[in-house]
Structure 1
Amino acid sequence: MSTHTSEHHHGTAILKEIAVDYCPEVCHHKPEADEIHITFDHRGGARWRSHHRFQYGTFAGRIKCPAGNTTGLNFNIYLSSLEGDKSQDEIDFEFLGKDKFSVQTNFYTVGCGNREQMHELGFNYSEDFHEYLIKWGPQTIEWLVDGKLIRKEERKPDEAWPEKPMFLYSSVWDASYIDEGRWTGKYEGCDAPYICSYRDVRVPVENIVTEEK
């Protein structure tokens, strides 16, 4: 791993165990190599997560998103108090398949989001591994790419804030139906199968709150 990102990993360890929420046949975890791979094809995609929730800390992963015509797909790494819960807290990195040169960040408090920002990356996210890191605290949230800060949010007085214990999640899915395809584009699938690869996924060594239910 490059030295310019190592300074941001204080208090973290490699995630060695994951749970797969659906389609385990297309999610391959290689703990001996610290790698995870999700394949998206006619079977759909998959979602993996940490076994534990955490409250605050640093979360990171080196990700190489799928190549080819990925219009319609969404790839991501994010924190959520519980996927599918309409009152969730959440902090996101999301890659939109129609644009390989940008990433979207967002965060939710008690199910309320609408804080999206788009960030130009300066590279094609499908050509190599790059590190995406979230630093979440009781007063600030920071999003970093390859050690460079791209967004920082500071808590304002009397403002709702993501503070529920959260799992680390990642998934690959067809988001064509969102906003009639305007968000990620319409899925065509002409270059399937698509593979999203993760290396050196890191989570806090402390701040573990809840065992998997």
Structure 2
Amino acid sequence: MGNSSLSLDHTSGSGFESKRVFLFGKIEMELKLVPGNSAGTVTAYFLSSKGPLHDEIDFEFLGNLSGDPYTLHTNIFAHGKGDKEQQFKLWFDPTEDFHKYSILWNQNNIIFYVDDTPIRNFKNNEAIGLPFPNSQAMKIYSSLWDADDWATRGGLVKTDWTKAPFTASYRNFNADICCLCSGSNGGWINQALNSTEQEKMRMVQENFMIYNYCTDFQRFPQGLPQECSIA
């Protein structure tokens, strides 16, 4: 993919999807997000399978009022069930320049990266009965759409259509994917975070994470999801 863009106005949004489906991969793309008053808009970049019990791996960038930071929203669906959100405030202005957002998905881990810095690692815990996306082939999707019922301050700030069209830009897409993976797939098929990467992720989460479903006792009064107690 060369330089390209998605646009949103009051009549329609836009998006794209990959032609191929795949089971596991390392996907990278550089994005420059909607500048100025982007409140109510969501720029989404995600992997998804089809069907009611679908799997999904999400990057979603929630728009803002001018001068306020974007919220980076991440989520994972396994066998149709999501509710695994973590949110971050980025340590740079994602509208001023392109930055790389990557997803590594293999049989043991789902790792989210921002400019090659890991921000989240979701591990395969099927051994104790927890679902993990590893059996349904996915496509790559991206979209720019109106979500002013929830995207900015929980829907309190609505989309200002006088600022339309809203435009997000893309470049340097790269996907190393497979359907029948082997150890020859660039090393990522068995990749996990090393100690240095784990420390970088810990620092990002300590300084820039603003929501973690694994600490939301009000949302889960009967007890946090089981994976939250696993290191």
Amino acid at match of 2:115: D
For the pair 1:161 / 2:132, whether they are aligned, the reply is yes
1:48-106 C-alpha deviation (Å, 9 max, x unpaired): 00001110010110000111111111001100003xx4321000110001263431111
After the TM superposition, which of the residue ranges 141-150 and 90-99 deviates more from structure 2? 90-99
Q: Give the equivalent residue in structure 1 for 2:37.
A: 69
Note if contact 2:39-2:151 (Cα within 8 Å) is conserved in structure 1: no
Aligned mates of 2:171, 2:70 — CA distance in 1: 20
Q: Give the equivalent residue in structure 1 for 2:99.
A: 130
Q: Give the equivalent residue in structure 2 for 1:91.
A: 57
Q: Give the equivalent residue in structure 2 for 1:35.
A: 3
Task: Rate the CA distance shift 1:110–1:200 in 2: closer, same or farther, 3 A.
Answer: same
Note if contact 2:62-2:151 (Cα within 8 Å) is conserved in structure 1: no
For structure 2, list consecutive stretches of 5 or more residues without a partner in the other structure. 182-231
Q: Point out the structure with max Rg over C-alpha.
A: 2
Aligned mates of 1:179, 1:145 — CA distance in 2: 21
User: Normalization by structure 1: what TM-score?
Assistant: 0.75
Secondary structure of the residue aligned to 1:91 is: strand
Note if contact 2:110-2:121 (Cα within 8 Å) is conserved in structure 1: yes
Task: Rate the CA distance shift 1:139–1:77 in 2: closer, same or farther, 3 A.
Answer: same
Aligned mates of 1:165, 1:138 — CA distance in 2: 12
* Number of residue pairs matched by the alignment: 175
Note if contact 2:56-2:76 (Cα within 8 Å) is conserved in structure 1: yes
Which structure carries more helix by proportion? 2
Q: Map residues 188-203 of structure 1 onto 2, 5 A cutoff.
A: 188-203=160-175
Secondary structure of the residue aligned to 2:161 is: coil
For structure 1, list consecutive stretches of 5 or more residues without a partner in the other structure. 1-30
User: Normalization by structure 2: what TM-score?
Assistant: 0.70
Amino acid at match of 2:178: E
Task: Rate the CA distance shift 1:208–1:92 in 2: closer, same or farther, 3 A.
Answer: farther
Q: Give the equivalent residue in structure 1 for 2:82.
A: 113
Task: Rate the CA distance shift 1:48–1:208 in 2: closer, same or farther, 3 A.
Answer: farther
1:103-138 C-alpha deviation (Å, 9 max, x unpaired): 111100122111110122101111110000000011
Note if contact 1:101-1:122 (Cα within 8 Å) is conserved in structure 2: no
Q: Give the equivalent residue in structure 1 for 2:212.
A: none
Aligned mates of 1:142, 1:187 — CA distance in 2: 32
Note if contact 1:64-1:130 (Cα within 8 Å) is conserved in structure 2: yes
Aligned mates of 2:44, 2:82 — CA distance in 1: 16
Offset of 1:186 from its aligned partner? Answer: 1.9
Percent of matched pairs sharing the same residue: 33
Aligned mates of 1:146, 1:193 — CA distance in 2: 27
Aligned mates of 1:204, 1:183 — CA distance in 2: 37
What is the aligned counterpart of 1:170 among 134, 142, 149? 142
Offset of 1:182 from its aligned partner? Answer: 0.8
The two structures, once aligned, show a CA RMSD in angstroms of 2.2
Aligned mates of 2:151, 2:97 — CA distance in 1: 29
Note if contact 1:175-1:184 (Cα within 8 Å) is conserved in structure 2: no
Secondary structure of the residue aligned to 1:182 is: helix
